[in-house]
Chain A
Amino acid sequence: MNRKLICILVIFAILLSVQNVVGPATKSSGSTSGGGGGGGSKPVDIDKLLKAVEDGKKNKPDTFEELKTILWKDPITSENYTLPTVLMYYNGNNTTVSRTEPIDIITVVTNNNPLEMRRMLDLYLEVKDPGESVYRRVNSWPEKIQTNEYNEKHNTTQRTWTMLPSFLYLKKVGEVRLRVNVSDGVNKWSTASYSRVNPPFYGDLVFNVTNSLPNMSSFEVTPSGLVRYNDPIEYRSIIEDADGDMLNVTLHILDENGNEFKNETINTKPGPLSFKANEYGFFAESDSGKNFTYYYSYDDGIGNVSKDPEAPLKGPNIKKGAKLSVDRLDFTGSSENYYWWDKYGFSIRAKNLNPEEYEVSFALSTRTENSEWNTVETKTEKIGSEPVVVRFNKTEPFRVTDAGKTFYYRVKYSEYDQSGKDSMETKGARINSKIVPYSIYNSVMVLNLFPMLFIVTMIGFFMERSLKKGVEAHERSSGGAGTSRKESPARTGRNFVDSIAKMLRRR
């Protein structure tokens, strides 16, 4: 309304300006600028005109109303004006879609009115979600269809509603209805008002939105077999959801009678899943000797699976074992110099805090400074309530590269000790820096050096025999016995000793 009024005022101002140009000169009021004296035509400033109208609105409302009445012009209407046809358009094969499926919701407008009769259209998309009784407006600002944007041939234009790319936002699945409300400034109507519309055009676009349930696979409990209650037991699986929803997954652990023993729920995205028993405190020492089963339940906030797999899976089977008390981890060297080649003895004392007797394995490992642990020896002993000293005698755990380094040693056992650990380690001593166990006079050194010197010398002699650079080089260079060379020892069958003797006799 106001806009129309302003348009009329602007036209009015232009007319006045024309009048000023062709008519007699007018005198400006005192506030006018430019003040040049003397006559002649003077254009009327539109800002001043507007200001005058605004002042009139404030100061002389009656006159202003009179002016409005004079200037009011009804919207251009014609008996020939027809309402544009506004329809929903969906080019999918069917309107049953999953929540994540991308959808292109389009509104097509056909306006057969001549350009000068067309009006700008305001479109509002409305949606009625499953279970709702009323439509809700999707766009807060109207989508505007300008009068000049229609296809000249078909008089059509369209809008794609990008603010609704899918129905992922739905928390409940079912029937979703979409429509567009239209206004041309005078008339208001809805796409739902059209009847007998055939796909891909729709008056009320109705989707049947479905949800994909999550799916679990790769069920596993590690470690497999018999485990200790405080082993790093882990329930692993993979959960997938086509919609990519956040999922609530509950692990149900059942006891031997099939009763729920523990459950734990986590909220997670689709992907690998892990429940660590120690983290959630699933099992205690009192559970030793029991066999458990488990299953999962899960939901994606819309649908749920109450039991997967249907038959609970086995695991873990917790074994009964000793509760160790260990101490007196010690070592001795065959010499006080702690050479790398010395034999070392290691020992640890252990007993079972429970009255039973169990077989427990003990593994001795050593390392020097930053190197990795190297398993030296493993032993299995029966451990009861009486302390047992487990000995690793006459071990040779070190190498020449360990010389000059401090060593550490560790005994790892197959049960947990009083500290809840399964190993005990401590620092040993500094290994002597001496790296060669033998003196130069030692028979081992003699056996090393003399044969080595002999063999290296022989390599030289055999090289000469092979290359024949002594005599034959000369013979070759002077075109001599290159081809009349004597047969090789191998060919003539002479033995190895003869060939060396002959070679040494040659001049």
Chain B
Amino acid sequence: MDPIVQFLIDNLFAAGTIALVLLLIIAAALHINNIKNVYKLMGILQNKTVDKSHFYKEMTVSQGSNFAALAFASWIMLFVAIAFLYFLVPTVYSVSFMDLSELASNPFGFAIFGITVGLLAAVVIFFLDKLPDDRRVFRLTELYSFYAISKGTKKMIGLTLIALYCSVVLSAYVGTIYPDRSMDAQLISLALLIVSAGILVMPIYKEAWEARR
């Protein structure tokens, strides 16, 4: 491969990784800011200081069980897909699942890896859900309860699960051919990750955008 093209591709992957990280960090910041703004606005409108837990209670909007279940699955799958892309084999980082010789040598090592990451993500989400009521802004489980989400957006969020499946499979493929590399597969996997993450945090950006307007 032409070194220049290779350089561009390498940078593209790095840029995509940075974009993914920024996308999630900015979304987190915007989410906190959105809630803060609404809280401030409520205080102005009611002309008094509103209790935060009361505020969160008032803000909560039911999004439906199926949507919530799909959203949870998508978020967990997002973490699994990230782990598969970056930590399955030492393609990107020198630290990888393959360092755990006993587990990695197991014929069902991939499944063990994916399920372990999924469970870890679920534990973290559960832990965040146990935060006190006045810290509900940090609960990933209630992320969508604070936003008005259209049916179309809900469908898109549900469909991210499919995109993330594809990302996981592509990352697994990259793992199976290691030490050979398939930059195409890696980039597509990363792109699917970015798109999925973008859709998952889209309500936050949308709210922030509308608030600015």
Query: Which of these binds chain A: B9-17, B20-28, B59-67, B193-201?
Result: B59-67
Given contacts A400-B104, A436-B176, contact A459 B118 (CB under 8 A): yes
Cα of A475 to Cα of B104 in the assembled complex, Å: 45
Interface size on A, residues (CB 8 A): 47
Interface 9-mer from B29-37, B41-49, B122-130: B122-130
- CB contacts under 8 Å to A, within B38-97, are 56-58, 60-77, 80, 89
Could you tell me if B122 and A459 are in contact, using CB atoms closer than 8 angstroms?
yes
**Structural contact, B110 and A460, CB atoms closer than 8 A:** no
Residue among A403, A440, A463, A475 facing the most chain B CB atoms (10 A cut-off)? A463
Contacts A399-B102, A457-B77: A470 and B67 contacting too (C-beta < 8 A)? yes
**B149 interfacial contact with A, CB 8 Å:** no
* B7 contacts the other chain (CB 8 A): no
**Contact between chains at A463 and B65 (CB < 8 Å):** no
> In the complex, A471 Cα to B66 Cα: how many Å?
9
Taking the nearest CB of chain B, how far is it from the CB of A501, in angstroms?
12
- Of residues 439 through 467 on chain A, the ones whose CB sits less than 8 Å from some CB of chain B are 439-440, 444-445, 447-449, 451-453, 455-461, 463-465, 467
Q: Are B65 and A503 in contact (CB under 8 A)?
A: yes
Query: What is the distance, in angstroms, from B85's C-beta to the closest C-beta of chain A?
Result: 14
Complex interface: chain A residues within 8 A of B76 (CB)? 456, 459-460, 463
B64 touches A460 (CB 8 A): no
CB-CB nearest in chain A for B114: A452
B168 touches A449 (CB 8 A): yes
Picked from A439, A444, A471, the residue with its CB within 8 Å of the CB of B64 is A471
Decide if B57 touches A401 in the complex (CB within 8 Å): no
Residue ID in chain B nearest A467 by CB atoms: B141
Contact of B125 among A340, A445, A463, A465 (CB under 8 A): A463
Is the Cβ of B142 less than 8 Å from the Cβ of A460?
Answer: no
In this complex, what residue of B is CB-closest to A457?
A: B73
CB distance from B172 to the nearest CB of A (A): 6
Residues of A within 8 A of B57 (CB): 476-477
Q: How far is the CB of B123 from chain A (nearest CB, A)?
A: 10
- Interface extent on B, as a size class? 35 or more
Is the pair B64, A506 in contact by a Cβ cutoff of 8 Å? Answer: yes
Measured CA separation A458–B69 after assembly (Å): 9
Tell me, rounded to whole Å, the shortest Cβ–Cβ distance linking B60 to chain A: 4
Name the B residues within 8 Å of A459 (CB-CB).
72-73, 76, 118-119, 122
Beyond A401-B104, A473-B60, whether A436 also contacts B178 by CB under 8 A is yes
The answer to whether the Cβ of B191 comes within 8 Å of any Cβ in the partner chain is no
Q: Measured between C-beta atoms, what is the minimum distance from B208 to chain A in Å?
A: 22
Query: Closest Cβ of chain B: how far from A337's Cβ, in Å?
Result: 12
Known: A455-B115, A470-B62, A470-B67. A464 touches B72 (CB 8 A): yes
Q: Which residues of the other chain, A, contact B70 by a CB distance below 8 angstroms?
A: 460
- Are A438 and B176 within 8 A (Cβ)? yes
Contact in complex: B69, A503 (CB < 8 Å):
yes
CB-CB under 8 A from A452, the residues of chain B are 110-111, 114-115, 118
- Name the A residues within 8 Å of B125 (CB-CB): 463
Interface string of A412-442 (1 = CB under 8 A from B): 0000000000000000000001111011100
* Nearest chain B CB to A449 CB, angstrom units: 6
Given that A448-B110, A460-B75 are known contacts, is A440 also in contact with B118, CB under 8 Å in the complex? no
A504 to B68, CA, bound (A): 11
Interchain CB contact under 8 A, B75 and A470:
no
The reply to whether A439 and B111 contact each other, CB–CB distance below 8 Å, is no
* B110 contacts across to A, CB distance below 8 A: 445, 448-449, 452
25 contacts between A and B (CB under 8 A): A399-B102, A399-B104, A400-B109, A435-B179, A436-B176, A438-B176, A445-B172, A447-B108, A448-B114, A449-B168, A452-B111, A455-B111, A455-B114, A456-B76, A456-B77, A468-B65, A469-B68, A473-B62, A473-B145, A474-B61, A475-B62, A477-B58, A507-B64, A507-B65, A507-B66
Q: A403-B98, A464-B65, A476-B60 are in contact. List 15 more A-B contacts (CB 8 A).
A: A400-B98, A434-B179, A439-B176, A444-B107, A445-B176, A460-B69, A460-B74, A463-B122, A463-B141, A467-B126, A474-B61, A477-B56, A477-B58, A504-B66, A507-B65
Q: Which B residues are within 8 Å of any A CB, using their own CB?
A: 56-58, 60-77, 80, 89, 98-99, 101-102, 104-105, 107-111, 114-115, 118-119, 122, 125-126, 129, 141-142, 145, 161, 165, 168-169, 172-173, 175-180
